[in-house]
Structure 1
Amino acid sequence: MPTCEHCDTHVSDRFVRVFADDSGTVRACPNCSANAGIAEVMRSRARGV
């Protein structure tokens, strides 16, 4: 069952296909970031910012 790495909330397989990084990690989900900025938050968390 896929989860958000940041808040450990369940995310759907469809969400993972769209928003996960190249390794399949979801670093942001609708529960822990603004919907409009999920991709940007994921990139910044992946860089360690």
Structure 2
Amino acid sequence: MPVCDHCGSHVSERFARVFADKNGQVLACPNCSANAGIAEVARQRARTA
């Protein structure tokens, strides 16, 4: 069961397929970022990690 690596919330398999990075990490989800900015937030968090 995939989870957001930032906040720990459950995400669907489909969400993880779309938004996970090449290592399978989901760095942002609707619970911890705005829906419109999930991809951008994930990129920013990946750069600072």
User: Would you say same fold, with TM above 0.5?
Assistant: yes
In structure 2, runs of 5+ residues without a counterpart are: none
Structure 1 residue runs of 4 or more that deviate by more than 3 Å after TM superposition: none
In structure 1, runs of 5+ residues without a counterpart are: none
Q: How many residues align?
A: 49
RMSD, aligned CA: 1.0
Identical aligned residues as a percent:
71
TM-score, reference length from structure 1: 0.96
TM-score, reference length from structure 2: 0.96
